[in-house]
Structure 1
Amino acid sequence: MNNVQLQHRVVISFRALPLLGQKLRSLSSPPSAMATLTPPPTAVHIDLWPILSESKRIINAHSRHFLALSVLFLLPLSFSFSAYPFIDKLFSQSSPPSIESHFSFLYNPFQLQKPPIFPIKYIFTLLYSLFVFIFSLLATGSITCSVFHGFYGRPVKFVSAIKSSFTTFFPLLSTCLVTELILSGILVILGLIFLGLLKLTQVLGFQVNYSSTYFLSLCLFFLITFMFIVLYLQVKWAFAYVVVVVESSWGLEPLKRSKNLVRGLKRVAFSILLFFGFFSGILTWVSAAGWGNVASDKWKNWAFILHIVLTSALFMSLMLSYLAASTVFYMYSKAIHGELAWEIAEEFAREYVSLPFDDEKVPHVVSVVNG
């Protein structure tokens, strides 16, 4: 008997994914035993709230794991966000008491030398920026990897997350540098256009009044234009860092991949940025409420310490939720674009697992060929 290829189209409904394992195992049965073909729906709807709900479910299912990662990577970041403006003001104070005065002996021990050209404040700012950059990449690599495995119901291991944070560090670094180069190039182009307009105005014989309303309006126009361009690119690059961690790519490739995945979902990507950006702004405003009176002994005030602790905890929770939501949104986008079905089939081919999909997800069709 000749080999006959039987193509079975199995409708994978996100409302009935637990039946997928049985369907895949029954592929060797006669065609009469297979499910009746059902055409997939044409409309696809996805919203912000199912993404937030699913990301919260994954975090709650592995609460101790994500708490450990948050304390290790996100808590130092959130504490620095809350305390840095206060510490920066202490460094900026010229009159004692201040932290800078306690370190003045490093460059002027006998009040006979002039202060150094590169003050301690600038060194502190540089070290702080480097600290934030490194810990942000480490947190992205570890938490994204954990949420990705938690989405499939796989075991989430702390050691694997730490390993992922280091193995994805340089790919994330390269992608971040590419994005910064692109944004810097756009800013340079806008700056050249702005200077060209000023030069053209002077060539035509007009005087440029830098304090006039027209000049300030022109500056504001270019600033708003740059902000809109950045926002548009951030929406298109919503999955860039998730792609780096999950798909092991780097450089410009994750940006192209994110552009393809976010197609048709820009509204949801924008709503995620708007949602977390709004609450980040609120937290920043609340945190700034304690920056008014700067004194070296303010750290002895229990109300100020409580303020720093609460804002740090909220910042940590917000960053964790954002990283989890971005990863879940990436998985939903792959499902909507028909890329997740074979990965699910491979999961069930190994063993049955319970997959966390929402009731609002749409069916997808998988074609399985038996030889």
Structure 2
Amino acid sequence: MDITPVHTLNLSGVLTTSKTIIKANYSHFLALSLFFLPLSISLIITPTLRLSDHFFTVDIFRNFPPNQQKAVISNLLYILIIYLSTLCAISTISFSTYHGFAGEQVNFFTSLKSLTFSIFPMIKTAIVAHLLLFIISLTFLLFTGVIVMLAQNLGLLIDYNSIYFMCFSAVVVATLIVIIIFFHVNWCLALTIVVAESKWGVSPLIRSSYLVKGMRSVSLLLVLYFGIFSGILVCIYSDTVYRPALSSRGFMLFRMLATFLLMLIFLRSTATYTVLYMYCKALHGELALEIDEGFDHHYINLQSDVDKVPQIIPVVSA
């Protein structure tokens, strides 16, 4: 039995453990990550195809009749497919990582079967989270608008084209981004909780906010880590920064490669947040309930397909 070095409850420990779990059954996780493919395509390849004169030699947008209703329905259906496939990816990967963390063997069909009891609660939870974020953002913007209106009523002349108002607008946008990141940091474990604890709605959000206490810095670093890497990849290989010659087969090949890499980033991100969930439970003294009898609650058993022996990862609080 191999004993790996002690991993503290920090960013390095979370990333290392998630990498170990994925490597233990790489083909399994790679197959599940295909659910992320529509999202990856929409972020990198789709913008290019929509701007080109041909989409698989046919411009699907020019084929729509003048009635724009069909175009709207088609785009909404496209977004719905991406959204559902992304939730399926998060659900199945979280399920596999959660059980792999405890050393349990989970096959591909078992992970897919888990969707029958997790996908609808996950959809409901995601909708609740989006609605709350929308209400919070709208409230903040309305509050900002009220301040501007009060300033005008008090006789303050506001030039909407001035550099001062632009700076004010930039501060407002930056503040809104910080608020959204704050709630994302606190709710980052919500979807994992749906899978692991069979909760849905507001309950996983509250539970996530509780578990992430003491690990918010790790959660924030994970948000920045995966956000920056995926953002850079999208900016470089999509039309966000520049638009290279669309006829370049070489660049389109690189776009396909970037789509695959982005899919792997989403895979690693989902697995890492599941490991963070387990680490947060360990920090709150709850992990002992999830481990097989005979193991101390400070140890996690990972079954490896590489060497066919359990790997014991000691976990200590930083």
TM over 0.5: yes
| Equivalent of residue 256 in structure 2, options 295, 300, 309 | 309
Q: Is the contact between residue 118 and residue 195 of structure 2 (CA under 8 Å) also seen in structure 1?
A: yes
Instruction: Map 1:1-371 to 2 at 5 A.
Output: 45-71=8-34, 73-90=35-52, 99-100=59-60, 103=63, 106-107=64-65, 115-118=66-69, 120=71, 122-288=72-238, 292-293=243-244, 298=247, 301-346=248-293, 354-355=301-302, 356-359=311-314, 361=316
Instruction: Please list the CA deviations of residues 124-165 of structure 1 after superposition, one character each: whole Å capped at 9, or x if unmatched.
Output: 432332122111111111110011111111111111111112
CA shift for structure 1 position 337: 1.2
CA shift for structure 1 position 201: 2.4
Which sits farther off after the overlay, 48-57 or 251-260?
Answer: 48-57
Root-mean-square deviation over aligned CA pairs = 3.0
Q: Against the structure 1 CA distance between its residues 167 and 259, is the aligned structure 2 distance closer, same or farther, given a 3 Å change threshold?
A: same
Q: Where in structure 1 are there 5+ consecutive unaligned residues? A: 1-13, 18-43, 108-114, 364-371
Q: Which residue identity is paired with 2:243?
A: G
TM-score norm. by structure 1 comes to 0.74
Structure 2 distance, partners of 1:102, 1:319, is: 33
SS at match of 2:135: helix
Q: Which residue identity is paired with 2:265?
A: L
Q: Against the structure 1 CA distance between its residues 223 and 348, is the aligned structure 2 distance closer, same or farther, given a 3 Å change threshold?
A: same
Q: Is the contact between residue 122 and residue 194 of structure 2 (CA under 8 Å) also seen in structure 1?
A: yes
Q: Which has the larger radius of gyration?
A: 1
Moved over 6 A (4+): 14-17
Q: Against the structure 1 CA distance between its residues 146 and 345, is the aligned structure 2 distance closer, same or farther, given a 3 Å change threshold?
A: closer
CA shift for structure 1 position 196: 1.2
Q: Where in structure 2 are there 5+ consecutive unaligned residues? A: 303-310
How many pairs are equivalent?
303
Q: Is the contact between residue 43 and residue 238 of structure 2 (CA under 8 Å) also seen in structure 1?
A: no
Q: Against the structure 1 CA distance between its residues 118 and 57, is the aligned structure 2 distance closer, same or farther, given a 3 Å change threshold?
A: same
SS at match of 2:114: helix
Q: Is the contact between residue 90 and residue 98 of structure 1 (CA under 8 Å) also seen in structure 2?
A: no
Q: Against the structure 1 CA distance between its residues 242 and 324, is the aligned structure 2 distance closer, same or farther, given a 3 Å change threshold?
A: same
Q: Is the contact between residue 44 and residue 255 of structure 2 (CA under 8 Å) also seen in structure 1?
A: yes
